[in-house]
Amino acid sequence: MCGRFAVTLPSDAMAQLFEARPANALPDVPNYNVCPTNDVHVVRSGDTDRQLLPMRWGFIPHWYKTPTDGPLLINARAETLAEKPAFRSACRERRCLIVGTGFYEWTKTEEGKRLPWYIHRKDGAPMVFAGIWQDWGRDDPAPTCAIVTTGANDDIGHIHKRMPLILEPADWPLWLGEAGHGAAKLMQPGATGILDAYRVDPEVNSNRAHGAHLVEPLAEA
């Protein structure tokens, strides 16, 4: 799964990278501790161009009467994405890209202590997650999103059994629906040898923690 991530790429650089038209009110960057329900940077295809805009991280199905009417849906499993009532329409019609730099995952000691790891691309490129989105609410619809996950590949399987679906630039048009049908073939773990992981300070266990030091390698790890 993916429960926290970092994003450091400036918004104008994102717009240039994705050839997208930026919205006026994008989330502040850098953010080294993006948490569920935060607004995140999302790229989606519009009628005439790509759009870079903020969305709430936490997909809200249309039948929820309030945002807390059911489970907080920050992730959506690729294996069941097309079947789950909450996600199947979005899987077909509302796919997006969610922009990050790296994400956090945790292992546990025998005593139950949570040990955080920071996972990032070895080449230093932005980490682009496959996502789905859904407008929620009648009077003033708010866009919400979830990160699609797959089984972990060998790069990080020793840390966690799940990972975000990470898309390469050549895959973006197909996932966004710009290159026709066939996005289902992308829903599998990516190639190995792309990701690196290292332990970071447990301070990131708090959703109130902020700052670049959160992604620095732990000296004694």
Provide the residue-wise pLDDT of the chain in tens; the chain has 221 residues: 689 999 999 999 999 999 999 999 999 999 999 999 999 999 999 889 999 999 999 999 999 999 999 999 999 999 999 999 999 999 999 999 999 999 999 999 888 889 999 999 999 999 999 999 999 998 889 999 999 999 999 999 999 999 999 999 999 999 999 998 999 999 998 889 999 999 999 999 999 999 999 999 998 65
Residue 194 within any structural domain of the chain: yes
H helix or E strand, kind and range, residue 173: helix 172-175
d(CA 163, CA 81): 15
Beta carbons of 100 and 33 less than 8 angstroms apart: no
User: Between β-strands 50-57 and 142-151, what pairing exists: parallel, antiparallel or unpaired?
Assistant: parallel
Residue 221 within any structural domain of the chain: no
Residue 72 within any structural domain of the chain: yes
Residue 191 within any structural domain of the chain: yes
Residue 220 within any structural domain of the chain: no
Residue 140 within any structural domain of the chain: yes
Distances (CA, A) of 74 to 36, 45, 153, 185, 217: 7, 21, 20, 22, 26
What is the tally of structural domains in the chain? Answer: 1
Q: Where are the alpha helices (DSSP H) in 62-135?
A: 88-93
Residue 59 identity (one-letter amino acid)? F
Residue 11 within any structural domain of the chain: yes
Q: Specify the CATH number for the domain of residue 142.
A: 3.90.1680.10
Domain containing residue 120: 4-215
Question: How many other CB atoms are there within 10 angstroms of residue 201's CB atom?
Answer: 17
DSSP conformation letters of 6-28: EE-S-HHHHHHHHTEEEPSSPPP
What's the confidence (pLDDT) of residue 220? 65
Question: How many other CB atoms are there within 10 angstroms of residue 167's CB atom?
Answer: 22
Residue whose structure tokens are 């992308």: 186
* Cβ contacts of 200 within 8 Å, gap of 6 or more: 104, 116, 117, 118, 214, 215, 216, 217, 218, 221
d(CA 102, CA 216): 12
The reply to whether omega before 30 is within 30° of 0 (cis) is yes
Taking the model in full, what pTM does it have? 0.96
Classify the C-alpha dihedral 218-99-40-182 as positive or negative: negative
